[in-house]
Amino acid sequence: MRLLTALHADDDAPDMIISDGVAVSRHELLERAAGLAARLRGAPIVAVHATPGLSTIVAVTAGLLAGVPVVPVPPDAGDLEREHILRDSGAELFLSDDPAVPGAPIAGVPPSSDIPEEPVPATPALVLYTSGTTGPPKGVVISRAAVAADLDALAGAWQWTAEDTLVHGLPLYHVHGLVLGVLGALRTGSRLVHTGRPTPSAYAGARGTLYFGVPTVWSRVVAEPAAAQALRGARLLVSGSAPLPGPVFDRLSELTGQSPVERYGMTETLITVSARADGPRRAGHVGLPLAGVRTRLVDESGAEVPPDGTTIGQLQVAGPTLLDGYLGHGPAPLADGWFDTGDVATIGPDGWHRIVGRASTDLIKTGGFRVGAGEVEDALLLHPAVTAAAVVGTPHDDLGQQITAYVIASGVAPDELIAFVAARLAAHKRPRVVHLVGDLPRNAMGKVQKSLLSGSQRHPGL
């Protein structure tokens, strides 16, 4: 059973993938990946230095062909984060073409026309590291079956076919950029133009039919009207990973002549809810469950709340796209097949979902990246001058939320602490603002009351 079905098609698409401005054909990608797959076979797991370019696409494809689960490592991960991912995943094989981060080579491996048989769908495809509210990131194990089910459901909802040219410049180590943005193209057969970075000018110049972006990308696109107008020829503009602000939805509709399709998901569940290509699009709403997905809202006692469009509840999802588990932490935390997303939502009588926010203040969404407050706090506490730290998300026009740290420390400047975190964790995890304070508000148990910190907010819905 093949996962990347379109990659094996008989006809050759001369420029199936364009990345770094370099075009590769379907056959060239398949044979390069098959050559690398021969070197991976038998490895329990492989880590990939996931730079935004062709080498990552070849390496991930090779892992999937060889049936070896792939752990993409953020290219800017600081030492602490990279060491954690490599140690926790047990990946002894690390592929990298970046001289600054040495690993086994990806480019230069001889191609092969010997295409391996793929394993059964229940086997793991990817282990994606993502932040929880506390501690270091955990590896979310995602099966080949989950990836296939999600991509097929999305292809149905978005009428995504081999006739499309998909354009995006998202990072290649998360669900959005990697699963949808690369594996989606290799399963549907659409061309892929990866722009390296998701800038308005790169999107405008790429002439795609289907565009993916996080809200920060769309907000930057509408700030450059000429770039937005250049997308008028596109078939579908898709936004996800964080709430799309209403004014950005409206402005994008005006400038491009079409309203964006919003969709909702999580690393643990893949994409579960979306507006459809052939249906309405509504600002502030993320649409209907995808084919095969079920959703429900529950209150704090676990009782279901009515889908009346106004009653707020915790969103739970069930279906074939859910994680297998967190690596080293047992199977997926499901109750009767339901996964608790931690998001708070309403569901209308017509089935339309609106994400209102998150139940916890400790998961921050900044530029579409999920950042756990605890991981940043732990990094700050490694600094010898720091005795306490509380990290929250505060509103930010461009990023949705920005990381703001309240720190008790002596003899250290805020900029030094930002640089200290940046050296250890990925760039988007460093605080933008550090407030040095004499005290932190605590409850009787000694726990910091983050809601009392100035500007602190749960990740906002609309």
Nearer to ligand MCA, 26 or 358 (CB): 358
Region near ligand MCA per CB under 6 A, out of 86-94, 202-210, 260-268, 441-449: 260-268
Q: Residue 223 and residue 89: Cα distance in Å, rounded?
A: 41
| Sites for ligand MCA among residues 355-394 (CB under 6 A) | 367-369
Nearest to 15 by CA among 24, 5, 28: 24
Phi and psi at residue 454, to the nearest 5°: -60, 130
Cα-Cα-Cα-Cα dihedral sign, residues 199, 200, 202, 203? positive
Give 266's DSSP letter. Answer: E
Residue 104 token pair = 């086994």
Lay out the site mask for ligand MCA across 20-59 (x = CB under 6 A, - = otherwise): ----------------------------------------
- Counting contacts by CB under 6 A, is residue 243 touching ligand AMP? yes
Contact region for ligand AMP (CB under 6 A) — 11-19, 95-103, 247-255, 260-268? 260-268
By beta-carbon proximity to ligand MCA, the closer residue of 13 and 389 is: 389
**Cα 370 from Cα 366, distance rounded (Å):** 7
Q: Which residue is nearest to ligand AMP (CB)?
A: 370
DSSP label of 290: P
The torsion angle over the Cα atoms of residues 264, 268, 269 and 273, rounded to 10 degrees, is -10
Residue 216 binds which one of ligand MCA, ligand AMP, none, with CB within 5 to 8 A depending on kind?
ligand MCA
CB neighbours of residue 93 within 10 Å = 18
Per CB under 6 A, does 138 bind ligand AMP? no
**158 binds ligand AMP per the rule CB under 6 A:** no
Decide whether 27 or 370 has the Cβ nearer to ligand AMP.
Answer: 370
Among 50, 59, 65, smallest CA distance to 8 is for 65
285 lines the binding site for ligand AMP (CB under 6 A): no
Report the residue number, 27 or 354, with the smaller CB distance to ligand AMP. Answer: 354
Strands of the 288-289 sheet, one edge to the other? 22-24, 17-19, 191-194, 165-168, 210-213, 236-239, 261-266, 270-274, 288-289
Q: Which is nearer to ligand AMP, 39 or 138 (CB)?
A: 138
- Positions touching ligand MCA (CB under 6 A) are 170-171, 174-177, 198, 214, 216-217, 240-241, 265-267, 367-369, 418, 427-428, 430-432
- Positions touching ligand AMP (CB under 6 A) are 130, 175, 240-243, 262, 264-267, 286, 341, 343, 355, 358, 365, 370, 459
